[in-house]
Structure 1
Amino acid sequence: MAGSVRVQWRSHASARCSVRFDAESLCPERCGKRLSDGAAQRLQVRLVAALQDGHRDVTLRDERDEDVPFLCGLYAEVRAQELAPVDWSEARKRTFTDSQFALQSEHYRRHYPGAEFLVIERDGVPIGRVYLCAFVDTIRLMDIALVEAQRGQGIGTVLVRELMQLARERGTTLTLHVEPHNPAQRLYARLGFKFVEKRSVYDFLEWTPRATS
């Protein structure tokens, strides 16, 4: 497994398909020096303050080992639509998504050692995750996801907008990877993110202060 994992199957229509977690395209190349631990911690505090301005029962905290079952379930939920046409049992699909989650987690921690791995909570109950890494010359939004019941309430938008504001103040970019057919593409387009290039199975998007000025 040189940076990617590929699984192939045949659907009911016998069309050949593939699902892949591609680690190589997610590497933080050309991002420069990371911020200090203190600066990264202040970023987390700032995001919490932004959330509670409109969602007083929502907060962020550091990810813990005991969060793994929830995070595996969240990852499986995010991939559910993609895997819906696959002629696998639910147990086999869950085994697959659990293994993909483990590979993704290992990759993030290897390539983003200074990253913030945060769990989104509502009234003390985990409802999502946001992973980010702040560098001197860019902020990388590595991952953001919410359970289905909590989507469409503006939580993700608040977090992304606050990261945009931080990038504006620092005069840096905000970047991320997203699948071409991910519904979040509509949000990013509305907020002014621009397509930079294709990186394997992902679109690499960038927001700059001048993009919406």
Structure 2
Amino acid sequence: MTEALSLRAECAEDAAFVESLFIAQRAAVFATLALAPEALATLLHGQFLAQAADYRRRFPQAERSIVELAGQPIGRLVVQREVQRWRLVDIALLPDCCGRGLGGTVLTKLLAAADAAGVALTACVACDNPARRLYVRLGFRESRAETVYLELWRPPRSRD
């Protein structure tokens, strides 16, 4: 199935998908607030706009890609490529696509590209995020904890 997995540049037409992806990932957490559906939708929309603005401010040169499976959008990848390192800003998959090895495939390809460029890859992940195990399995090291987030990095591997 992973052979049908691909990345393409994110474009303006993807805005609705990117927002729906954000909401799909966070709806369960925010549902615990027991808000009326309209209030929950407003809150999630505001959170999405805040994240988008933060990413534009902090990572203005980031490459934004849509992850597709068999031509259908299933996720998003945001990477800031710098001279000395690349930063994995965001990787997100629709909940139904999680736990199937797809995120690992995307990360493995990104790591191979970073290795080819001779740069480290860094990421930030919530300390309680189950994906943390995947990062460790792929060779990331924990560099420091900041509040509820953990900084991770993986040095480039030689291409011998």
Q: How much does 1:135 deviate?
A: 0.8
1:205 corresponds to which of 143, 146, 152:
152
Say what the alpha-carbon RMSD is for the aligned residues.
1.9
Residue 121 (structure 1) shift: 1.8
- The one of 46, 57, 73 aligned to 1:99: 46
Structure 1, unmatched stretches of 5+, are 1-53
Give the AA of the match of 1:87.
Answer: A
- For 2:71, the equivalent position in structure 1 comes to 124
How far 1:84 sits from its partner (Å)?
3.5
Cα 1:161/1:124, change in 2 over 3 Å: closer
Residue 97 of structure 2 corresponds to residue 140 of structure 1: no
Within-5 A mapping of 1:110-189 = 110-189=57-136
* 1:141 partner amino acid: L
Q: Deviations over 1:84-103 (max 9, x none)?
A: 42221233222112111111
Query: Partners in 1 of 2:30 and 2:15 — Cα distance?
Result: 21
* Counterpart residue identity of residue 121, structure 2: L
- After TM superposition, the structure 1 stretch with the greater mean CA deviation from structure 2, 79-88 or 189-198, is 79-88
State how far apart, in whole Å, the 1-side matches of 2:61 and 2:16 are.
23
User: Deviation of residue 111 (structure 1)?
Assistant: 2.4
TM-score normalised by length of structure 2: 0.86
Ranges in structure 2 where 5+ consecutive residues have no aligned partner: none
Instruction: Quote the sequence identity (%).
Output: 36
Q: Which amino acid aligns with 1:155?
A: L
Alpha-carbon contact 2:61-2:80 (below 8 Å) kept: yes
Q: What's the CA shift for 1:153? A: 2.4
Question: Aligned to 1:177, what secondary structure does the other structure show?
Answer: strand
Greater mean deviation of Cα atoms: 200-209 or 127-136: 200-209
Structure 1 segments (4+ residues) deviating >3 Å: none
TM-score by length of structure 1 reads 0.66
Aligned residues: 157
Deviations 1:104-127 (A, max 9, x none): 112212222221111112233211
From the CA coordinates, give the structure whose radius of gyration is larger.
Answer: 1
